Amino acid sequence: MEEQRKQILNGNLRSLLFRFSTPAIIGMLVSALYNVIDTLFVGQGVGALAIAALTIVMPIQLLMMAVGIMIGVGSASVISRALGAKQDERALKAFGTSILTNLSISVFFMILAYAFIDKLLVFFGASPDTLPYARDYMSIVLIGFISFSFVICSNNLIRAEGKPRTAMYSMVIGAVANIILDAVFIFVLDMGVRGVAIATIISQVLSAIFILFFFSSSRSIYSFNRKAFKYRWYLAKETISVGFPSFLLQVIGGVIFLIFNRVILHYGGDIYIAIMGIGLRMLSLIQMPIIGISQGFSTLVSFNYGANQYTRVKKILREAFIWTLVFAGTGFLAIMLFPGQLISIFASDPELISKGITPLRIVVIFLPIIGFQVLGGSLFQAIGKTAPALIIILSRQLLLLIPALIILPWFFGLTGVWMSVPISDAVSVLITSGFVIWQLKIFNKKELERSIS
């Protein structure tokens, strides 16, 4: 651990960023890829209504993810800062508390979702035509809530101890298994959306088993030490406090999907919900590398901030932004130049393809610069400043996108739904810039004080 700490605090920043980000990028890309293949298989093997049903279920899945992300991101920040400050015992205690917290919250929400499953699906935009597909899928997927949340949380814990490649392996195992099982259950066994759900659960359990073996081995600093598994409220409070912006982001994402689904159903119908579902899968392939970079970025920032290496924190931010610009810019060009060809990969319906081209081009207008907004929120979470992180994360969706989704369709109809995305992207980047500039001035002041003393 000491050798790794020295590398993070003194090594080449570009090499470190890629070392910590590449496994996360690969893992996130593979994860996004199996979501894309889910949609592709469902579109080709079941039909457009089934794609719309999976899109309706997505908000509920985001809420499921929110629990694991909140505990994972919060505890990762606590653990990384503790390791950077050579407080290994505090890191171990934070690990045990995070596992217990994640488990208890996941069980509670799983029971709640089962109790109101039909009402939830209708509330999130299921029409009489899509409800049977959505119910078939959701009733099975909920079984895997605990393992799903555990995997998401644990991947953050693994990265926090400086093992990003292991986190990648857990995601790749689940993704590859999901892709193979999707093909078997849909095309061989003809199980439709139920087959997709079963494949998803099995793949999540396989990832969880891999992680459990890692945590119980000597390769992990946690090593499932029994002393760690004592609930410590002060660490749970800090974990939830730091991770809450990420939780809220996912919850807001669910609310946005709800509004999207209901507004689109009102102005356009099920076919446009299917278009949105396809577009979101495309965007996930672009956004996942950005999120992967932000995860590697967060670990490096937490370590260096904990060691008072403020100059290196600034350099890490600059390096990470350059690479988010590269990834997002490439995706932007692909969607702008070949929207019809990309949609046709998922569905052969000529109406769906022709109606999907304009919406795709509108929503990606400011995609190249959105990485800066993601990094801004990650920066403040990594250094343990909840308030700025919360404002940055909320600005894009809660403060901007939701009002735009409600107001713009009054004037522009369905086009207003698509316009709301680039408008909220642009304004949120401006808000993020203000907070980041403020924090950079604080870093400069601390550097000056250190040089004088």
pLDDT, tens digit, for every residue of 14-48?
777 777 777 767 766 776 676 677 777 776 666 66
What does each C-alpha distance from 401 to 123, 246, 257, 363, 381 come to in angstroms?
20, 17, 11, 12, 22
- DSSP class of residue 348? -
The pLDDT score that the predictor gives to residue 6 is 63
Phi, psi of 11 (to 5 degrees): -75, 175
CA distance 68 to 101: 10
CA distance 216 to 441: 43
Taking alpha carbons only, the member of 289, 401, 281 closest to residue 346 is 281
Residue 328 has pLDDT above 70, yes or no: yes
Q: Which one has a higher pLDDT value, 409 or 50?
A: 409
Which tokens in the block code for residue 276? 């949105």
Q: Which one has a higher pLDDT value, 309 or 6?
A: 309
- Comparing 75-84, 203-212, 310-319, the range with the smallest average pLDDT is 75-84
Taking alpha carbons only, the member of 124, 126, 72 closest to residue 98 is 72
Q: Which one has a higher pLDDT value, 114 or 15?
A: 114
Please state, as a whole number, how many other Cβ atoms lie within 10 Å of the Cβ of residue 92. 18
| Alpha helix stretches (DSSP H) within 116-220 | 117-123, 131-141, 145-160, 164-183, 192-215
The tally of CA atoms less than 13 A away on the side-chain side of residue 384 is: 16
CA angle 239, 240, 246 (to 5 degrees): 105
What does each C-alpha distance from 352 to 36, 242, 282, 317, 355 come to in angstroms?
17, 42, 15, 40, 5
- Comparing 41-45, 342-346, 432-436, the range with the smallest average pLDDT is 41-45
First and final C-alpha spacing in the chain: 30
Region of 269 please: left (phi>0), alpha (psi -120 to 50) or beta. left
What does each C-alpha distance from 76 to 159, 227, 234, 311 come to in angstroms?
8, 19, 15, 22
Please state, as a whole number, how many other Cβ atoms lie within 10 Å of the Cβ of residue 237. 12
Q: What is the pLDDT of residues 228-283, one digit of tens each?
A: 677 777 777 777 777 887 787 777 777 777 788 788 878 877 788 778 778 877 88
The pLDDT score that the predictor gives to residue 223 is 66
Residue 102 has pLDDT above 60, yes or no: yes
- Comparing 2-11, 89-98, 144-153, 158-167, the range with the smallest average pLDDT is 2-11
Mean per-residue pLDDT, 202-209: 89
**Looking at the chain, how many residues does it have?**
453
Mean per-residue pLDDT, 312-323: 86
CA distance 209 to 225: 18
Q: What is the pLDDT of residues 187-197, one digit of tens each?
A: 888 787 788 88
The pLDDT score that the predictor gives to residue 333 is 92
Q: What is the pLDDT of residues 151-161, one digit of tens each?
A: 888 887 787 77
Please state, as a whole number, how many other Cβ atoms lie within 10 Å of the Cβ of residue 137. 26
CA angle 169, 170, 175 (to 5 degrees): 95
The tally of CA atoms less than 13 A away on the side-chain side of residue 378 is: 27
Residue 1 has pLDDT above 60, yes or no: no
Instruction: Evaluate whether 222 touches 92 at the Cβ level (below 8 Å).
Output: yes
DSSP H or E stretch at residue 410: helix 402-412
CA distance 352 to 354: 6
Which tokens in the block code for residue 383? 């250094």
Share of the chain above pLDDT 70, in %: 91
The pLDDT score that the predictor gives to residue 243 is 80
* 372 class by beta-carbon count within 10 Å (0-12 exposed, 13-18 middle, 19+ buried): buried
Residue 308 has pLDDT above 80, yes or no: no
CA distance 231 to 347: 49
CA distance 142 to 139: 6
